[in-house]
Structure 1
Amino acid sequence: MKINYYTFFIVNFFFSILIVFASFFFEFYYNLEPCKLCFIQRFGWIFFTIISFLALFLGSYKKLVTILTIIVLSLLSLIGIYHSGVEVGILDNFLSCTTSSGLEAKSIEELSKIIMNTDNNDCAFPKYSFFGLTLANLGVLSSFFLLFINLLLLKKLLVK
Structure 2
Amino acid sequence: MMISRRTLILLLTAFSVSMILGAWAFQYIGGYPPCKLCYYQRYPHWGAAGFGILALLFSGVALPYLAALAAATTGAIGVFHSGVERGLWEGPSTCTSGSIENLSADELFNQIMTAPMVRCDEIPWEMLGLTMANLNAIFSLGAAILWLYAARMRT
Give the TM-score of the pair, scaled to structure 1.
0.80
Contact 1:36 1:97 in 2 (8 A): yes
Change (3 A) 1:90 1:155: same
TM alignment of 1:76-155, pairs within 5 A: 76-94=74-92, 96-97=94-95, 119-155=116-152
Q: Which has the larger radius of gyration?
A: 1
1:55 partner letter? A
1:70 partner letter? A
Cα-to-partner distance string for 1:97-144 (whole Å, 9 max, x where unaligned) = 269xxxxxxxxxxxxx9x965522110001111121100001001111
**Which is bigger in relative contact order (C-alpha 8 A, separation at least 6)?**
2
Q: Counterparts of 1:17 and 1:153 in 2: how far apart (Å)? A: 18
Q: Counterparts of 2:43 and 2:122 in 1: how far apart (Å)? A: 21
2:13 partner letter? F
Cα-to-partner distance string for 1:73-92 (whole Å, 9 max, x where unaligned) = 22112111100000000011
1:35 partner letter? C
Instruction: Tell which deviates more after alignment, 25-34 or 70-79.
Output: 70-79
| Number of corresponding residues | 143
SS of residue paired to 1:92: coil
Any unmatched runs of 5+ in structure 1? 100-112
Contact 1:98 1:122 in 2 (8 A): no
> Where does residue 65 of structure 2 map in the other structure?
67
Q: Counterparts of 1:41 and 1:50 in 2: how far apart (Å)? A: 15
Change (3 A) 1:118 1:22: closer
Give the CA deviation at 1:14: 1.5
Change (3 A) 1:49 1:64: same
Q: Counterparts of 2:115 and 2:47 in 1: how far apart (Å)? A: 30
Runs of 4+ aligned structure 1 residues displaced above 3 Å come to: 115-118, 154-157
Give the TM-score of the pair, scaled to structure 2.
0.82
1:8 partner letter? L
Any unmatched runs of 5+ in structure 2? 98-109
